[in-house]
Structure 1
Amino acid sequence: MKKIGMIAVMFFVGLALNAQDTNNIDTYKVAFYSKDATGVFKEMSGKIISSDVVKSDSILGLQFDLNIKVASINTGNGVQNKHAKSSEWFNAEKYPTINFVSSSVYKTEKGIFAKGKLSIRGVSKDVIIPIEIKTTDLKTIYKAQFSVNRMNYSLGPDNKVSRNIKIIAGVSVKK
């Protein structure tokens, strides 16, 4: 059951959203890793709005509005899935979605970052997520790799389950 705690942060995989310019999602992949668990969320929705305008240190017009359906969690184990959806962890009945809404996207010498609010289980926290953006003639690929502390969102009991979860997410949007 402790593997379920690691799933808490998978929501960031929610980068698999619609691009406002084309609304054509090509592919997405979301993974999370910890010593305790692996898994994915199967249902995501939202928007990636991009105007591809870069001005000094800010990326104008790039916004993320992501929603992950908690009930779509898949750890590869039916019992763990049920436990993850329970009131002890995500409480999918009361809090059916995990949300990330960016307030800004900016560039520094260390990379590109999306600053915004992450909401899990009714708890909203300011977060900064490093992202990579690759653009070709056919598509734009967004990737994120970061860690989240599940205890910041009251996910699961305070026990031996890993608190920090590494999240790797990517989405390809057709132009």
Structure 2
Amino acid sequence: MKRLLPLLLIFAFATGSVAQETPEKENKPIRIDRNHSTVGFNVPIVMGLSKVTGKFTDFSVDLIWDASNLEASSVRVTIQAASIDTGIDGRNEHLRSDDFFDVEVHPEISFVSSSILRRGDEYFAQGVFTMHGVSKDIFLPFSIRSFQDAANDSDWTAFTVDYTIDRTDYNMNWTHSSVDYFVGNNIQADIVIITR
């Protein structure tokens, strides 16, 4: 998880309040489409021959977004670590244990922005990412795509995060007892948040 999203790690925007400001629709709340939003990740296993994919199912986001005034924009993301789901119950329990997320001691993964920046077509959220009790300042890249559904008077927007985190930077150092590099260190965060 070296370049993190958080959001895992990031944006995990689901149950929080979201507001968008545009010249035409200032301060109009944006509804998050949970059915089409994903806070996902993948990590290489078996010396990179395969990978585990998963997601966090319980997350919230507070987003204030003004594309014409990024200084007024901000994001706060909170992910419940225990909501991790890789499709296998035994593996989920191992990931919740003190070998990995240690959810009893560190129940939340979070990101709180201090500024939003733009470089060309790419945006960056600068802020503090916290996971497994370790906090680090990061630049979280994200992209934005929009679609206007004129027939239903609805605007759809996708906030997409593609970020790599080195788990050892957050004191997740578990290794297989007999196979070196069985679980990779770099975790790829794949997050898509749909708002409308």
Give the structure-2-normalised TM-score: 0.75
Q: Residues 59-74 of structure 1 correspond to what in structure 2 (within 5 A)? A: 59-74=70-85
Is the 1:143–1:169 contact (alpha carbons within 8 Å) kept by the matching residues of 2? yes
Maintained 8 Å contact 2:6/2:110: no
Q: Percent identity?
A: 26
Determine if the alignment matches structure 1 residue 155 to structure 2 residue 167.
no
Q: 1:79 corresponds to which letter in structure 2?
A: G
| Aligned counterpart in structure 1 of residue 95 of structure 2, from 72, 84, 88 | 84
Q: Give the alignment of 1:1-175 within 5 angstroms.
A: 11-17=8-14, 18-20=17-19, 21-26=28-33, 27-36=36-45, 37-54=52-69, 59-109=70-120, 111-137=122-148, 138-157=155-174, 160=181, 161-174=183-196
Alpha-carbon deviations, 1:111-138, whole Å to 9, x = none?
A: 2111111101110011111110123341
User: CA separation of 1:165/1:128 partners in 2, compared to 1, >3 Å: closer, same or farther?
Assistant: same
TM-score by length of 1: 0.83
1:15 counterpart SS class:
coil
Q: Provide the aligned length of Structure 1 versus Structure 2.
A: 163
Give the counterpart letter for 2:42 in structure 1. Y
- Give me the whole-angstrom Cα distance separating, in 1, the residues matched to 2:143 and 2:99: 34
Deviation digits for residues 53-112 of structure 1 (CA, Å, limit 9, x no counterpart): 24xxxx232211000001111011111111111112111111111001111110124721
- Which 4+ residue blocks in structure 1 deviate beyond 4 angstroms? none
Give the letter aligned to residue 18 of structure 2: A
Which residue type is aligned with residue 56 of structure 2? F
**Rg bigger for which structure?**
2
Instruction: Report if aligned partners of 1:28, 1:170 keep a CA contact under 8 Å in 2.
Output: yes
Contact 1:10 1:39 in 2 (8 A): no
Which is helix-richer, 1 or 2?
A: 1
C-alpha separation in 2, matches of 1:34 and 1:87: 18
> Could you tell me whether the CA contact under 8 Å between 1:10 and 1:40 is conserved in 2?
no
Aligned to 1:5: none
Residue 30 of structure 1: how far off its partner (Å): 2.9
How far has the Cα of 1:44 moved from its partner?
0.4
Tell me by how many angstroms 1:10 deviates.
6.3
- C-alpha contact (below 8 Å) 2:10/2:111 kept by paired residues: no
C-alpha RMSD of the superposition? 2.1
Structure 1: 5+ residue stretches without partners = 1-7
Unpaired stretches in structure 2, ≥5 consecutive residues: 20-27, 46-51, 149-154
